[in-house]
Amino acid sequence: MGRPQLLVTFLALLALFAASSTQAQLQMNFYSKSCPKAEQIVLDYVTKHISNAPSLAAPLLRMHFHDCFVRGCDASVMINSTANNTAEKAAAPNLTLRGFNFIDGLKTLLEKACPGVVSCADILALAARDSVVHIGGPNWQVPTGRRDGRISNSTEALNAIPPPTSNITTLQTLFGNVGLDSKDLVLLSAAHTIGISHCNSFSARLYNFTGRGNGQDPALDSEYATKLKMKCVNTTDNVTIVEMDPGSFRTFDLSYFQLLQKRRGLFQSDAALRTSSATQSFINQFGSGSVQSFFSEFAKSMEKMGRINVKTGSAGEIRKTCAVIN
User: What is the set of active-site residues?
Assistant: 66
The single-letter DSSP state of residue 162 is P
CB 44 within 8 A of CB 109: no
Q: Does 245 belong to an annotated binding site?
A: yes
Q: Is 49 annotated as a binding residue?
A: no
Q: What's the CA gap between 134 and 64, in Å, rounded?
A: 16
Name the 3-class secondary structure at 243. strand
> 270 labelled as ligand-binding?
no
Q: Dihedral through CA 121, CA 125, CA 128, CA 132, nearest 10?
A: 180
Residue 138 assigned as binding residue: no
88 marked as binding residue = yes
Of 21, 2, 9, 16, the C-alpha closest to 315 is 21
d(Cα 278, Cα 289) in Å, to the nearest integer?
Answer: 17
Q: How many other CB atoms sit within 10 Å of the CB of residue 83?
A: 5
193 a known binding residue? Answer: yes
Beta carbons of 184 and 174 less than 8 angstroms apart: no
Distance from C-alpha of 213 to C-alpha of 4, rounded to nearest angstrom: 55
Spatial contact of 148 and 121, defined as CB atoms under 8 Å apart: yes
Beta bridge partners of 147: none
Q: Is 72 annotated as a binding residue?
A: yes
Binding residue per annotation — 104? no
Q: Give whole-number Cα distances, 287 to 50, 51, 92, 259, in Å.
A: 28, 29, 31, 9
Rounded distance between C-alpha atoms, residue 110 and residue 266, angstroms: 38
The closest alpha carbon to 296, from 286, 288, 307, belongs to 286
Nearest by Cα to 46 from 115, 116, 111, 132: 132
Tell me the one-letter amino acid at 308.
Answer: I
Torsion of CA 177, 219, 264, 208, to 10 degrees: 90
Which residues does the annotation place in the binding site for Ca(2+)?
Answer: 67, 70, 72, 74, 76, 88, 193, 245, 253
Which residues does the annotation place in the binding site?
Answer: 67, 70, 72, 74, 76, 88, 162, 192-193, 245, 253
Which residues does the annotation place in the binding site for substrate?
Answer: 162
Which residues does the annotation place in the binding site for heme b?
Answer: 192
